[in-house]
Structure 1
Amino acid sequence: MTKKFICKFCGSSVAIDFNTTHKLSVGSRLKTEKGEKTSRGIAIISTDEMTLYYEFCPSCEKTSVYAVGEGSEFKGKTWNLYPDSIAKQLPDYIPSSIIEDYVEACKIVKLSPKSSATLSRRCLQGMIRDFWNVKKSRLIDEIDAITDKVDLETQEVLHSLRQLGNIGAHPEKDINLIIDIESDEAELLILFIEYLFEEWYIKRHERKSMLKKIKEINNNKNQIKKGKL
């Protein structure tokens, strides 16, 4: 059986062949018989309750490590050990302050989902201010200022993220009212932030790069016509 995993370091898509993976014992190295690293090693340590996995990326030659709950106590739970978050590698044309908020939101998504949601809200505000050049005193006003630039559904979700982020940023008027955010809910907010990275920054960059190349090709052909090349 073959599937793919996405490298947590470089973002490369790597094929995994489960028919040729290696089950390792404690102290084993990530090596094949020929001394080459495999694309995936299974079970460095395995018990009734937990299995430790690692995935080797041939593109960047880094190994990610994570644990998966197997028994009744930890069933369905996953812990990222190295790297220690679900954050994706992002291009350097996205402002570093926005990336820092995103990475931190990813790191604490299971430890403190409410705080992670607050950081996602902060990340959203930074993106709107940078990408759309909108700067107002309140995020609600900044979202309203881009109503003509995003579709209605996206605008509604932007407000939803803002309100969910407010749960961690501002106490309720009734201090006895406790509203929690679950880790899977905070992860969904992170997925939406990643969607905005793709739709706003990455697609814009790819579009500019494509247009620049087309212009360069056309200019080169014109130079050839004029006999300058």
Structure 2
Amino acid sequence: MICPHCSTAAKYEWKTTQAMKVDEEESKGTKIAYSTCPNCEEIVVYLQRGELEYDNIGMDYFEDIEWQKMIYPKKENFTNSDDIPKLYLEDYEESVKVLSASPKASAALSRRLLQNILREEYKIKEKTLVQEIQNFIELEGIPSHLTDAVDAVRNIGNLAAHPTKNKNTGEIVSVENGEAEWLIEVIEALFDFTFIQPLKLQRRRKELNLKLEQIGKPEMKKKE
């Protein structure tokens, strides 16, 4: 996953607390899962829920995690949401909203959103999302942290090996634990690079040119 602290891709070694039962009849339970980023050493904490199972010495574990939610660091909405086109922002917010209830639905929304951004903003249109991702990571001027993050999407749900998910990106299909969260993080990184940072630089340029005008100096020249 992408570390919510330092924004680098990291492989976590998760530890969990003892489960707390929430349904005696169906053996549902919740756990706290926690780990530290191997890059920045900051802690990440999730709340998990699932069907409890027990090993031969009585230790509990989840056969399948039904849902999980990051509880530290607390996830905040974009402070620059006005800079993101409404069409994309609506799909993103819906993907975040349904994450806890249905990671599969969230992942489907994020995959479709990723493809829409690549097609509309980067003019990349191929038969499959895998090929579109390949074209994107080969573009000049894309920072490595973003190409690495987008490239990793091809491994989510083993995308490259499943033609249905690869072509019909909006279809609801199974995903592994943590993959839906990763997709949302990739979308956020893409939003920042594609929309937020260029507009931030544009506003700073206007502010600087105004100051230059006030002291009688020429405006900054734009690169061709």
Q: Normalising by structure 2, report the TM-score.
A: 0.51
In structure 2, how many angstroms separate the alpha carbons of the residues matched to 1:75 and 1:118? 26
**Shift in Å at residue 203 of structure 1?**
1.1
Residue 128 of structure 2 corresponds to which residue in structure 1? Answer: 138
Query: Structure 1 residue 91 and structure 2 residue 81: aligned?
Result: yes
Q: Tell me the secondary structure at the aligned position of residue 149 of structure 1.
A: coil
| Aligned counterpart in structure 2 of residue 164 of structure 1, from 145, 156, 160 | 156
Residue 218 of structure 1 corresponds to which residue in structure 2? Answer: 212
In structure 1, how many angstroms separate the alpha carbons of the residues matched to 2:146 and 2:187? 12
What are the within-5 Å matches in structure 2 for residues 2-81 of structure 1? Answer: 73-76=29-32, 77=47
Residue 109 of structure 2 corresponds to which residue in structure 1? Answer: 119
| Aligned counterpart in structure 2 of residue 191 of structure 1, from 181, 185, 195 | 185
CA, structure 1 residues 134+217, in 2 after alignment: closer, same or farther (shift >3 Å)?
A: farther
CA offsets 1:147-204 (integer angstroms, 9 cap, x no match): 12324553343132145264999269xxxxx96422x331122122212222331111
In structure 1, how many angstroms separate the alpha carbons of the residues matched to 2:91 and 2:154? 15
Deviates more, 1:213-222 or 1:160-169: 160-169
AA matched with 2:198: R
Residue 149 of structure 1 corresponds to which residue in structure 2? Answer: 141
Aligned length: 144
CA, structure 1 residues 121+179, in 2 after alignment: closer, same or farther (shift >3 Å)?
A: closer
Q: Normalising by structure 1, report the TM-score.
A: 0.50
Residue 36 of structure 2 corresponds to which residue in structure 1? Answer: none
CA, structure 1 residues 168+135, in 2 after alignment: closer, same or farther (shift >3 Å)?
A: closer
Higher relative contact order (CA 8 A, sep 6+): 2
CA, structure 1 residues 219+200, in 2 after alignment: closer, same or farther (shift >3 Å)?
A: same
Task: Give the unaligned 5+ runs of structure 1.
Answer: 1-47, 51-71, 81-85, 173-177, 224-229
Structure ID, larger Rg: 1
